[in-house]
Structure 1
Amino acid sequence: MREVNVPIRGLRAERLPRTVWWLVLARAINRLGAFSVGFLTVLITAEFGVSAVAAGVVAAAFGLATIPSRLLGGVLADRLGRRRTIVAGLVGCALAQAGIAVSGSVAMVAGFAVLLGLAFEVYEPPSQAMIADAVRPAQQAQAFSLFNTALAVGGMGAGLIAAGLGRWDLRWLFVADAVSCLLCAVVIRLVLPADRPAPVPVPAPDASPGASPGSAPDASSGFGHGSGSGSGGPSRGTWAAWRDRRLLVLLLSGTLFAVIFMQVGMAMPLALARRGMEAADAGLLSAVAAVVMVLCQPLLRWTAALSHHAAMTWGYLLLATGLAGYAASGGLPGHLAATLVWSAGDVLMFGRSYALVVDLAPPDARGRYLSVFGTCWGFATVLAPLSGTQLLDRAGPEGLWGGLAAACLLLAVAQHTVIRPLLDRQAPAL
């Protein structure tokens, strides 16, 4: 695989396109309303008097539905168009949220929860594909990292909104979420460029019979694709991405990272309580992490000369250091310091992982490749609660954070010694 590296000075002079900034703003707006899902089980138990187990089943059904939702978003992004798919997904979320708000029975809530799950992740693949279309390869890591930071920043405001509306009436949380989805859809529809036909790579006139037609530049963006443009030629059906072994390797490592990342949010309140601290301090740590992600964006420019694999290796090492800090710390100051470290590591590696996926994808299959890779978060939604609670119960907070730090070290070693050689070896010659 051919890495695209640029001088730091050159990257500083280039600004991200307005399309990226509008997508970042829209995602932050949408995240401001995406707080109601966490209160789904509370609504079911409080409004209808069912058991927590039954409410958990409904929540699990929502989580499982998000996996095909992301895959659907990838297919529609490549066939229907980026902007149309984003708008359709957001409108679908708004209708499902409104349905939950007016439901009069558990069965209705469950039905609309599944519909919400099926629409919930449709937004992601076309947004990521639109970013990949709009920026040069050297800017992809920065753009994807900024896109992820918008999620964290929006989450800070979401917590404040939830604290206010949740005390009034839980159903209004879902109403507010529906409104935010519609507002986000309007922003996307008005300010983003219209969809164009998917680019179809055409082989050069002097190309050899065995050359990959995907090596032509992407017609939609006007920029070359590095090794990804020659990785597999035109896509041949929905399941073509699943047959790319390089993508599956990234999906495996991405799933392990997603499980680790989600533990910080899911297990932190329980881990703090186990140590005699306030569980609510997890919200403070989350807010600090969001601030660090914003302040550390220049880190991407300073490390622009590093290859994707090298940057991700250093990112995993910072994540391991921060999680080890959680294991060794018994008070809030130590947890705050550890949060500063792992948040910087997240900024360093998150955008690079998506840039690697874009490098692999043929120009007409970016949405599908990104959606397949994005299912790692759906798998982690199922695996993280199971593994985290088991580790916490059997090994305590020290064992939980120490085990996750060891997993990050494993990813750091694998990225440099296994994943990179494997991707290079299986990449076709250009």
Structure 2
Amino acid sequence: MTVIQPLTSHQGTRWPRSLVALVIARAVNRLGSFAMAFMAVALVEVHGASLATAGAVVTAFGVATIPSRLLGGRMADTVGRRATIVIGLLACAAAQLVIAASPGITGALIGATLLGLAYEIYEPASQALIAESVEAERRPQAFGLYGAAMAVAGVAAGALAALVGGIDLRFLFVADALTCLCAAALVLALVRDTTARSDGMVRTGPSPWRDRRLLTMLALGTGFATAWILSTIALPLTVSARGHDAAATGWLLLVAALVTIAGQRLLRGAASRPFTLIRAGLVLMAVGFAVIAYAAPLPLLALGTAIVALGEVLLLGPPIALVAGLATDASRAGYLAAYGTCWGIAQTVGPMLATGLMSHGTPTVWLTGAALCLVLTATTAAATAVCSPR
């Protein structure tokens, strides 16, 4: 059932304590998530793996995240939101320690696969808890707040990675495990579960995999997630190709984080016009990609990055809020898990696609991403018709 816990009883516009605590916990966890970006590097430098082997290990992780998210959705709708979040975080911590302690490539592969199977367990439960902690009309803003906190924590994570990685790359995974444990403790202490008792839950409505509305949103989300993965991989390579040092990428990420925070104001009233914002977000991303495709000076790269970040603000909160509204309370996490597989798909195919496109020149990957966003924009009219209230 939906639970609303205002910070004070007389100020209904303030965020619920439970939601704020969850956002803080996930931001703490995000501080350690930099380890995944260094997995391939660690395999090559610490264990002497070839680039092909390192790529295979990272791919195994990406593939494993798909069933991980589905398992998380199932658990969240049965054993409860908070319990699922804690179990997922503890499992991630254990898998990270396996990777850190691994004496060779085989152990690292096992750890990476286990991490993939645990990595997304908590996400559907977190998203369902956010959706059920606020009124429906405030869900896009709530998910936007969640995304903004992740963006800010991501920038801080880069600085922490530079510090810890300079000592020993394996310590990155130890640090990530510690943040998982800290986040789990915060959730246990401060987050209130919104799940109805499992013995009283009755599933109603269609399976997400039989719901045309969900499948439509999944296709749209997969396209956006793929474009996002392309940009994530291409940005540091583009910065280097344009003659800037690695620190320039950090500054661009900081610009993106600041824009993400400032852009949250655009999500007011988003529940009544989700596809309008989705279309605007896709167009903004396409424009930003086009700017970056040919930008050489750092200020111009920053402009393109800011435009892309503003588009992402409109493409994170509204779609998730819309999906959350398609389901009943008893099946919401399952719907969010099904929708969230778009990230697992993109994480699996995106890196190979990005590196393949980069071999044809830096502008190619950005112009391909822009074209993908414009194609998705053209399909939103059909998606609006399918997902409109009946």
Same fold (TM over 0.5): yes
Cα deviation for residue 199 of structure 1 reads 9.2
Matched-pair contact (CA < 8 Å) for 2:271–2:318: no
Q: Which residue of 1 aligns with 2:197?
A: 197
Q: Which residue of 2 aligns with 1:309?
A: 275
TM-aligned CA distance change 1:199 to 1:363, over 3 Å: farther
Could you tell me which of 331, 334, 345 is aligned with 2:300?
A: 334
Q: Which residue of 1 aligns with 2:94?
A: 95
Partner SS, residue 351 of structure 1: helix
Q: Which residue of 1 aligns with 2:378?
A: 413
Q: Which residue of 2 aligns with 1:130?
A: 129
TM-aligned CA distance change 1:103 to 1:398, over 3 Å: closer
Q: Does 1:49 align with 2:16?
A: no
Q: Does 1:299 align with 2:263?
A: no
Q: Does 1:257 align with 2:224?
A: yes
Kindly provide the CA deviation profile for residues 276-306 of structure 1, in whole angstroms up to 9, marking residues without a partner as x: 34354222211210111112212222x5485
Structure 2 counterparts to residues 326-365 of structure 1, below 5 A = 326-365=292-331
What CA distance in whole angstroms lies between the structure 1 residues aligned with 2:152 and 2:377? Answer: 27
Deviates more, 1:397-406 or 1:377-386: 397-406
Q: Does 1:113 align with 2:79?
A: no
Q: Which residue of 1 aligns with 2:256?
A: 289
Letter in 2 for 1:178: A
TM-aligned CA distance change 1:187 to 1:71, over 3 Å: same
Structure 1 gap segments, 5+ residues each: 1-11, 203-232
TM-aligned CA distance change 1:397 to 1:54, over 3 Å: closer
What CA distance in whole angstroms lies between the structure 1 residues aligned with 2:246 and 2:95? Answer: 31
Cα deviation for residue 23 of structure 1 reads 1.2
Structure 2 counterparts to residues 112-191 of structure 1, below 5 A = 112-191=111-190
Could you tell me which of 398, 401, 415 is aligned with 2:363?
A: 398
Q: Which residue of 1 aligns with 2:5?
A: none
Matched-pair contact (CA < 8 Å) for 1:201–1:234: no
Deviates more, 1:310-319 or 1:13-22: 13-22
What CA distance in whole angstroms lies between the structure 1 residues aligned with 2:246 and 2:329? Answer: 46
What CA distance in whole angstroms lies between the structure 2 residues aligned with 1:146 and 1:109? Answer: 35
Structure 2 counterparts to residues 30-109 of structure 1, below 5 A = 30-109=29-108
Partner SS, residue 197 of structure 2: coil
Matched-pair contact (CA < 8 Å) for 2:23–2:146: yes
Deviates more, 1:41-50 or 1:118-127: 41-50
Q: Which residue of 2 aligns with 1:225?
A: none
Matched-pair contact (CA < 8 Å) for 2:100–2:174: yes
Kindly provide the CA deviation profile for residues 358-378 of structure 1, in whole angstroms up to 9, marking residues without a partner as x: 121122111110011111111
Kindly provide the CA deviation profile for residues 180-204 of structure 1, in whole angstroms up to 9, marking residues without a partner as x: 10010000001111454159688xx
Matched-pair contact (CA < 8 Å) for 2:225–2:346: yes
Structure 2 gap segments, 5+ residues each: 1-10
What CA distance in whole angstroms lies between the structure 1 residues aligned with 2:325 and 2:200? Answer: 17
Q: Does 1:388 align with 2:358?
A: no
Q: Which residue of 1 aligns with 2:204?
A: 234
Cα deviation for residue 272 of structure 1 reads 2.8
Matched-pair contact (CA < 8 Å) for 1:271–1:392: no
Matched-pair contact (CA < 8 Å) for 2:271–2:321: no
Matched-pair contact (CA < 8 Å) for 2:40–2:55: yes
Kindly provide the CA deviation profile for residues 207-228 of structure 1, in whole angstroms up to 9, marking residues without a partner as x: xxxxxxxxxxxxxxxxxxxxxx
Letter in 2 for 1:391: L
Letter in 1 for 2:309: S
Deviates more, 1:338-347 or 1:27-36: 338-347
What CA distance in whole angstroms lies between the structure 2 residues aligned with 1:96 and 1:333? Answer: 40
What CA distance in whole angstroms lies between the structure 2 residues aligned with 1:58 and 1:140? Answer: 36
Kindly provide the CA deviation profile for residues 325-375 of structure 1, in whole angstroms up to 9, marking residues without a partner as x: 112422211111112222112112310000110121122111110011111
Kindly provide the CA deviation profile for residues 214-254 of structure 1, in whole angstroms up to 9, marking residues without a partner as x: xxxxxxxxxxxxxxxxxxx7157xxx211112111111110
Q: Normalising by structure 2, what TM-score? A: 0.92
Q: Which residue of 2 aligns with 1:4?
A: none
What CA distance in whole angstroms lies between the structure 2 residues aligned with 1:13 and 1:304? Answer: 18
Letter in 2 for 1:298: R
Partner SS, residue 112 of structure 1: helix
TM-aligned CA distance change 1:69 to 1:278, over 3 Å: same
What CA distance in whole angstroms lies between the structure 2 residues aligned with 1:44 and 1:328? Answer: 33
Partner SS, residue 331 of structure 2: helix
Query: Kindly, what percent of the aligned residue pairs are identical?
Result: 42
Kindly provide the CA deviation profile for residues 127-149 of structure 1, in whole angstroms up to 9, marking residues without a partner as x: 00001111111000001111112
Q: Which residue of 2 aligns with 1:207?
A: none
Matched-pair contact (CA < 8 Å) for 2:214–2:339: yes
TM-aligned CA distance change 1:65 to 1:255, over 3 Å: same
Letter in 1 for 2:32: G
Q: Which residue of 2 aligns with 1:28?
A: 27
TM-aligned CA distance change 1:104 to 1:399, over 3 Å: closer
Partner SS, residue 104 of structure 1: coil
TM-aligned CA distance change 1:391 to 1:56, over 3 Å: closer
What CA distance in whole angstroms lies between the structure 1 residues aligned with 2:43 and 2:351? Answer: 20
Q: Normalising by structure 1, what TM-score? A: 0.83
What CA distance in whole angstroms lies between the structure 1 residues aligned with 2:213 and 2:270? Answer: 23
Partner SS, residue 193 of structure 1: coil
What CA distance in whole angstroms lies between the structure 2 residues aligned with 1:297 and 1:368? Answer: 27
